[in-house]
Amino acid sequence: MAREYQLPSKQGSQSGSSGIDYAAELNDQQYAAVSSKPGPALVIAGAGSGKTRTLTHRVAYLLDKGVDAGNILLLTFTNKAAREMLERVEQLVPKDIAGLWSGTFHSIGNRILRKHADDLGFTRSFSILDRDDQKSLLSEVVKGLNVDTGGRRFPKADLLASIFSLSENTYESIDDILEYRYPHLEEWLEEIKKVSQAYRKKKKETNSMDFDDLLILTLKLLKEHDDLRKLYQRKFRHVLVDEYQDTNKVQCDLIDLLVGENQYLMVVGDDAQSIYSWRGADVDNILGFQDKYAEAEVFKIETNYRSVPEVLELSNAAIRPNRTQYDKELRPAREGGAMTPALVALDDPSVQAEFLAERIDELIGEGVKPKEIAVLYRAHYHSMEIQMELTRRDLPFQITSGLRFFEQAHVKDISAMIRFVVNGRDEVSFKRMALLLPGIGAKTADNLWQAWLHSAAGRSVDVPESFSNTLLSFRVPAKAKDSWEQLCHTLDELAPEGKFERPSNMIFSILEGVYEDYMRATFDNYEHRKQDIEQLMQYGENYEDVLEFLAQLSLMSSVDGDPAQDDKQQDESESVMLSSIHQAKGLEWKVVFVVWLADGMFPNSRVLDSGDNDMFEEERRLFYVAVTRAKDQLYLTYPMTNPKSYTGEYMTKPSRFLEAIPTELTEEWEVSTW
């Protein structure tokens, strides 16, 4: 057995060359983690507890203890986080840290592969495919395989890319991915597996890697080449990982290989904020850390510098029912006496939107800056009425969860079909509609448009009694024949005998007739988009006149609206933030509204219907993330009724998440309307 011999530290004093008094600059829990001895360490850092401060001071501490910067690896999830941490370390330690490796998992993988890609059959000048490149290559692969789609829709390249990515990052087979996440695509299982194999081969032939390969192939390289694995294990004497609760299986395995036997590893995260399982993150990585690293020390950082005590008491109560978690209690650094979190039941979604807009207007009048106010929701469509109400009142807002509701592709697709039925001269809407069909490209769409213009129906300003009588005579590619026929009959349903149906009926016919199949084959978040369309259908119930309905859609889109208003709304410094909770993680505001807290909305109906406790606990973690974004004021709102198209109005049940919150921790607001 080899004799162990420890070299003395290059720095003798605790403060080291930086002059930092770590005990004075950090609280007791932070200092315990930062100054811990080398070895496996798990730091459970609660919301607003100074996670980044702890991690950057740990890097500074290692440098002060004589660890060479080139022997430190700092892994993050965003380039922004990596830059911010390096900047903080540079401010803390007056020495050259250029040798320190810091970056995202993908960027670190790229650095390693640039040195050793030839060991995997690539050259070091390999290309990295972005999402558009990946879609183009996949489309070529599908075309080359001559997949017989017949009258069925084969999944689009974007959806295939999502399936392959999820499979690789979770180690789940494509069979399992389709069974549990995309059951509507199981009929294509064998063809999808062939595409996957051909795609891997094509990447090798073209000396190209996609983003997932930067992880998968780095892991493969280190597994298959002992010499390289030992080289990087010697180099990275200390590995630090940020947001460990968000790692997937591949990232976790990559960390384990890089750490090696010395186990000088510190991971920082919060299991209570693990909310990304849908993209492959595995909360078991952080919950099972001690099972893998038996000698690991666990540090908890529980002092919260963000929120007032009233918000923290509610937050602690909100997450307490979860059975699978590290127990911790957020403790406030701030003094109390602020407003008690408000629990606000509203008559319906429209009144909920009115309340939010009115209260936001009052807050701005009281001196709260718009950028310090956020409205958070479970799903993007929950913001529709709120967007409309804020627009009506000329209150500027930003959407951080994606496009504005009425600017989303699927909403514009639906409206294009209605626009064409109403206005047969609308070339843009006709072509957008035609391009949705398989086998139809820009040239074919233009040919179809010219055929329509030269037809009797296309020359008339009146709505034809039957669209199909004209359109079915047009020549379309064989691949599009069945879909084209269904589209023609759907258009007839929108205006039977030349008379317009109600907007909500039109949307229902489009969804059931042609668009649901299109969404299934096109989008990886098909269910969410379908909910958006159902919400649009519900909105359409407010209108008898389709022309008025279309006018409102245009007015609610910044693309068609007032450019000056759009410019104002694009100014983030003067805008209220509307965001999904997933997008809001890591952010904070003085005032936070968490909306649609009704069972079936939040928690999501899919989660409730599944009966899966792991999914439900993640949903509760999502609620916890939402409430811990608030610094000063927190409003929890829900509509007591919800108008539902075709089934009438129904009573909602307050979110079961609210049941865990003692009544004394909230103040009920009773909102009345004229």
Catalytic residues: 51-52, 242-243, 273, 629
Do residues 591 and 575 lie in contact, with contact meaning Cβ atoms separated by under 8 Å? Answer: no
**Which tokens in the block code for residue 365?**
């009048």
What is d(CA 85, CA 265) in angstroms, rounded to the nearest whole number? 17
Number of H helices, E strands in the chain: 31, 19
DSSP 570: T
Asked whether the beta carbons of 626 and 401 are under 8 A apart, the reply is no
Instruction: Show Cβ contacts of residue 8 under 8 Å, excluding neighbours closer than 6 positions.
Output: none
Q: What is the C-alpha separation between 268 and 36, in angstroms, rounded?
A: 13
Sign of dihedral through CA atoms 318, 619, 656, 325? negative
Euclidean distance between CA atoms 133 and 139, whole angstroms: 10
215: Cβ–Cβ under 8 A, 6 or more apart, which residues? 105, 106, 109, 169, 250, 251, 254
> Sign (positive/negative) of CA torsion 144, 146, 151, 154?
negative
Spacing of C-alpha 522 from chain mean position: 18
CA angle at residue 483 from 479 to 484, to 5 degrees?
Answer: 95
Burial 135-166 (b: 16+ CB within 10 A, else e): bebbeebbeeeeeeeeeebbbbbbbbbbbbbb
And the tokens for 62?
A: 């290692």
Contact 242, 77 (CB under 8 A): yes
Task: Return phi, psi of residue 416, to 5°.
Answer: -60, -40
- Torsions phi, psi of 495, nearest 5? -145, 70
Structure tokens that stand for 622 in this block: 């999502």
**Tokens standing for residue 480:** 């599009």
CA-to-CA distance for 487 and 513, rounded, in angstroms? 7
The string of DSSP codes covering 229-241 is HHHHHHH-SEEEE
Take residue 224 and report the two structure tokens written for it.
Answer: 């298959």
Q: Any alpha helices (H) in 301-402, and if so which ranges?
A: 309-319, 349-365, 384-392
90 three-class SS: helix
User: Tokens at residue 177, please?
Assistant: 């991915």
Identify which of 451, 453, 398 has the alpha carbon closest to the alpha carbon of residue 424. 453
Helices 481-494 and 409-422, axial angle in degrees (round to 10): 60
Backbone CA torsion sign across 367, 372, 378, 384: positive
